[in-house]
A and B are shown apart, each in its own frame.
Chain A
Amino acid sequence: MTNENLIQYIYGIADNSLILGQRISELCGHGPTLETDIAMTNMALDLLGQTRSYFQYVAELSPKAITEDDVAFLRTEREYKNVLLVEQPNTDFAYIIVRQYFFDVFHFMFLKALENSKNINFQAIAKKSLKEVSYHKRFSGDWLKRLGDGTEESKQKAQKAVNDLWAYTDELFHMTENDKVVAEAGYGVDTTSFKDEYYAVITALLQEATLDVPETKYFQKGGKHGIHTEYMGYILSDMQYMQRTYPDMKW
């Protein structure tokens, strides 16, 4: 296993936090209550904080003299390895919550496993992030119950979001060739090992929220290979705007 294997592996983890953090940041000041605004901003801060820890490690591993910002802002779209789920738009509060919950449950299980990595940097990041993500999972899970078992309107909206976003859950467990190499070396995580547990947990919560569990067998994937939805280009053009317009400057 080479440093390049590790770097690619980190992109597969950290780009999820970066892009979801970016998506949630778009909402700051526009939430349904001041309290949800504060809570969601907290989650964005946690995710971006995690991203920084991962990318600072990438900068250490890289043979080139690069910074966390080069990694975050100066790759091309195909080089971002986040799953498609996290780039989905903020269609409404139901989509925001369902997207978050589907990701949070995965993220929590992933970090639990990453805590046992042989790599001490991964252990440390996982340990710190777990505290944060257990809160995210509780926040999004509680809201999903409120929306599902709230009013008729909220139930419909939550169900629609669940049905639409379900197709992006399977990709969370897709192991690329690189993922396998890093997992076999004892550094990475075999996500297939907790796939059944993941679906059991979210199914139980959807049932508690009085929502139907989608039965579709058709899933979307591509993000982990850098093939994104059309939303991604717009996320990056916003996010990279300053670094692209004013290259090589300190901010």
Chain B
Amino acid sequence: MKNQDTMQDKEQMKSLEDIFEAKIARDEKIEPKDWMPEKYRKTHIRQISQHAHSEIVGMLPEGNWISRAPSLRRKVALLAKVQDEAGHGLYLYSACETLGISREELYDQLHSGKAKYSSIFNYPTLTWADIGAIGWLVDGAAIINQVPLCSTSFGPYARAMVRVCKEESFHQRQGYEIMMTLCNGTQEQKDMAQDALDRWWWPALMMLGPTDDESTHTEQSMKWKLKRKTNDELRQQFIDQTVPQADILGLKVPDEDLQYNTETGHYDFGEIDWEEFWQVVKGHGMCNKERISARKNAWDEGEWVRDAALAYADKQADKEVKEAV
């Protein structure tokens, strides 16, 4: 009897898997209530939460300049940008919660260091030009990573990404416009812009992930449409798109080996310092500790506030019950 049950279970599982695979092959969305393999669920929790964490940790380096923004217009634009990032964090956490994990668990994973976030946010923002460079380069690289996700297989993630990408592309234009203003300004402003490009260029290239032979998740992710192109292809796309933009600004990309290759139609570029990349990923970048402790402090110091809101809501619910009786 037992063997028969197991056989039946296996067959049932096989047919569920077939239905699931067929849906993905037909480019149909997987929704939270649909059956999905455990590995698919886990991979999506990992990737979506990593993305959500990147949004809210990403608020910190830019938030660092809100109080010092050089004009009212820039201050308002930067506030709105950082607010958009909080909004992205919110949809992405919500999308992740549909996979059966709570926001508290997700925050715990961030605070304990179990979950990762984009390493770029572990670099410090030192001048106003960094706000321009982040918009231009970091949002630029993020868009290249994210546009393919608008058609990824998991419905809530794909729908969140449509909105995120629209806003990111606005942010990128805004960042480029900050750089353009600096480059049309005084020598001090141009120097500030060049210095920001010098510091953010290589970390931005690293954002597209390790090289294909080092990347552990690519093959499976391609199948589930979590990825459409490899890291190296995305990086090349970013470089090809960004170098002409730097030329328009009159800035020099800090790579002596950078050269347009007429045969391939792409830019050849120099060696990325992967040692630095892994150092930051492993938690030893300049701001890793500060970023995590800022998030952890906000959460820990907010605990009494959240408790108060819950206690108040309970009291109100009790009152309503009593009034109804």
Contact = CB atoms under 8 A, between A and B. Distances in A.
B79 A150 contact: no
A33 interface: yes
B72 interface: yes
Interface string B290-309: 00001001110111111111
A38 interface: yes
Contacts of A69: 70-72
Contacts of B302: 31-33, 36, 93
Contacts of B312: 145-146, 149-150
- By CB atoms of chain A within 10 A, which of B72, B76, B189, B294 has the most? B72
A238 B72 CA distance: 13
Interface residues of A, number: 47
Contacts of A68: 72
B297 A30 contact: yes
Interface in B277-325: 294, 297-299, 301-313, 315
B307 A154 contact: yes
B89 interface: yes
Interface size class of B (residues with CB under 8 A): 35 or more
A241 B247 CA distance: 30
A157 interface: yes
Contacts of A48: 72, 75-76, 79
Interface in A130-175: 145-147, 149-151, 153-154, 157
Interface stretch (B4-12, B61-69, B198-206, B217-225): B61-69
Interface stretch (B80-88, B143-151, B159-167, B231-239): B80-88
Contact of B68 (A30, A154, A238, A249): A238
A218 interface: no
A18 to B, nearest CB: 8
B207 to A, nearest CB: 20
Contacts of B308: 146-147, 150-151, 153-154
26 contacts: A28-B83, A29-B56, A29-B63, A30-B298, A32-B301, A32-B302, A33-B302, A33-B306, A34-B90, A34-B93, A41-B79, A45-B76, A48-B72, A52-B72, A68-B72, A93-B301, A93-B302, A145-B312, A147-B308, A149-B312, A150-B311, A151-B308, A153-B308, A239-B68, A242-B68, A246-B70
